[in-house]
Amino acid sequence: MGDDLPPDLARLRVLETWAAHYLTRIRARIAAVERQQAQQQTPAPTAAPPSRPGTGPGRARTPDWGLAEAGIGVPTTEIHRGDCWARGKTLVPVSAERARAELADGTQPCAVCRPDRVLNRLGSS
């Protein structure tokens, strides 16, 4: 393992940065294709009202806010909106109050979904 990777830390860090950037681009393309496919599909008429995305048998409800812990591909802990495409797969659901507290303690807001704008607006009303 690792025979095709450079031996020095500097070049490994460059590759890590590139891979994280490319993963973000891939996730953005996946989200765009999913949106396009969803728009092309016409929903079949049903007797029951449509369920909220992320609900139903075997699927957890999409949280309103979440905390993405720092790890592989995630350089720092970030607060996200639950429906953010950049949230990663390990989003920990949190309440709006906890998300506000995390932001106040210095946790970074996601640069894509900008939860700080909405949470700050909700907190001031």
**Rounded CA separation 86/72 (Å):** 14
pLDDT under 50 in the chain at which residues?
Answer: 49-51
pLDDT digits (tens, 9 = 90+) for 81-103: 888 887 777 788 888 888 888 88
The domain tally of the chain equals 2
* Residue 43: per-residue pLDDT: 58
DSSP 20-52: HHHHHHHHHHHHHHHHHHHHHSPPPP-SSPPPP
Q: What is the pLDDT of residue 50?
A: 47
Same domain? 21 vs 80: no
Q: What is the pLDDT of residue 9?
A: 92
**Are 71 and 21 in a shared domain?**
no
Question: CA 80 to CA 90: how far, in whole Å?
Answer: 11
Is there a domain that residue 119 lies in?
A: yes
**Structural domain contains residue 57:** no
What domain range includes position 8?
1-41
Q: What is the pTM of this model?
A: 0.47
pLDDT at site 74: 60
Is the same domain home to 28 and 76? no
